[in-house]
Chain A
């Protein structure tokens, strides 16, 4: 009986949670910032014909169909510089346009799917709508921007730079009854 009670009450899975750091945007919506320190947060750099893949032993497929496709996997950090999730960025060249897509997975909260405009905006950043969200992000729309920020401190142990991702969440409008 005691064993049954113990098995019943002890949770099988308990994901670690970091507090969300969200601010309110003046023009509506909530803003949350993430970043990726490079090169330390890189898990994979995969592209056709690259001289130095990451990890070293990575064998990127040589299939012709993937000749224009590259992908990166990163650990993603919150504003306190704590790792909170895993993200993947895929870039592909199509005939007339391109694809720059992100998936962002925060285990304790949910995931986001973002399709960036492949053309950078003025100010050297990209932006794209949140196409889908899961769990906590399921009822939200909004957009995410990406920006590369080089490290200018010159310190030896600092990252070379960071990819900043700024997510703006907006609740979906519900029809008035």
Chain B
């Protein structure tokens, strides 16, 4: 019996040590500056609330840390969609005025591999800007830095809370330079394939309900023809 207990303790200690070594490996998950953060090309920048209660609707399997919003929204509990969440939100322009509607659907990615700092989520956005047109954004997001810089410290905190200022680019693909692929659907965006980036700015996070104060941002690089039209 004592050998089984010793083996269990050894296994758990090994898992803990190994997880700590992976989490704090300085060579894993460090992100550079996205090309869209420093592009000279004209861009569309859209803000949105990253907190559930700041969105129009957010739903998931009902067992996630983030409670679905609003009350009594249907949960995505079926086997095929248990690891999926959907969010509907108002998109804001640079003056914080409503400028469109955004729908984001995300699923945990099977490409996730924590060994190499890949906590991946496959997500799509549908963006509709009245008077301008619609776009579809496909991206892979990497939450590794978010896990390491926000969630782990929150779990270690006696208050189960993380507060601070964290800004990170969530998009890690499919573009080679960690950009999202944006396809124009209608209006001035129709027929264009563009680059995009989603970033997150977090001020507070709690273990029991996730993001408390956070904003998201979408940057879409416009093709040069649209740029000429804008000018």
Contacts and interface: CB of A to CB of B under 8 A. Distances in A.
Interface of A: 1-4, 6-8, 11-18, 42-44, 46, 55-61, 63, 65-66, 68-69, 71, 73, 75, 82-86, 88, 90, 92, 94, 99, 101, 103, 105-108, 111, 113, 115, 131-132, 134-135
Nearest to A17: B80
Contacts of A115: 134, 185-186
Nearest to B115: A8
A58 B56 contact: yes
A13 B15 contact: no
Nearest to B93: A65
B78 interface: yes
A58 B57 CA distance: 7
A43 B59 contact: yes
B76 A86 contact: yes
B146 interface: no
A155 B108 CA distance: 38
Contacts of B84: 85-86, 105, 107
Interface in B124-183: 124, 126, 128, 130-131, 134, 136, 138, 181, 183
A65 B136 contact: no
Contacts of B90: 61, 63, 66
B2 interface: no
Contacts of A11: 110, 112
Nearest to A18: B80
Interface centre among A44, A59, A69, A107 (most CB of B within 10 A): A107
A11 B110 CA distance: 8
B183 A68 contact: no
**Chain B interface mostly:** mixed
B124 A69 contact: no
Given A7-B115, A61-B98, A55 B71 contact: yes
Interface in B1-22: 11-12, 14-15, 17-19, 22
Contact of B126 (A13, A43, A82, A90): A90
A66 B130 contact: yes
B103 A2 contact: no
B143 to A, nearest CB: 12
A66 B73 CA distance: 22
B98 A4 contact: no
Contacts of A65: 97-100, 130-131
B109 A13 contact: yes
